[in-house]
Amino acid sequence: MRNTEKRGRFSELLKIFSDKLHGKETPKKIDTSKMSEECFCNLVLVELGGLENLLVIDSCITRLRIEVKDISKINSEKLQALGSEGVIQVGENRLQIIFGEKAAILEKYYNKLKKEIEEKAKKMEEKLN
């Protein structure tokens, strides 16, 4: 066992102990390793308040940057259970969620859904005219 592995486990134990001292329960992690990307993305979208709650999604290397209509619809505990390392509120209705490499996958999935909805709306509008 390398020194860094020992430190990582020790740090994790300290965090769990500290959380319990402060009355916080650590959320149980949901195993997302066997899920399809689509299933994982759908679960995350639900915990973000649904597609209609999202105004903007962007990602950088490890963070998903979002702007929402109603921040109270965000379920931080469930997002952490799905693998988020943290949810940081950056403004009144803006958040950064640390998802690691999955941040880019989530952004891509959201943009795909948004594009499909816009195309369907356009086709319906053309049919009405």
Contact assessment for residue 75 and residue 43, using Cβ atoms and an 8 Å cutoff: no
- DSSP notation for 7-74: HHHHHHHHHHHHHHHTTPPPPPPP--TTS-HHHHHHHHHHHTT-GGGEEEEEE-SSEEEEEES-GGG-
Which entry of 14, 16, 55, 60 is annotated as an active-site residue?
Answer: 60
Q: Is 60 an annotated catalytic residue? A: yes
Residues acting as catalytic residues: 60
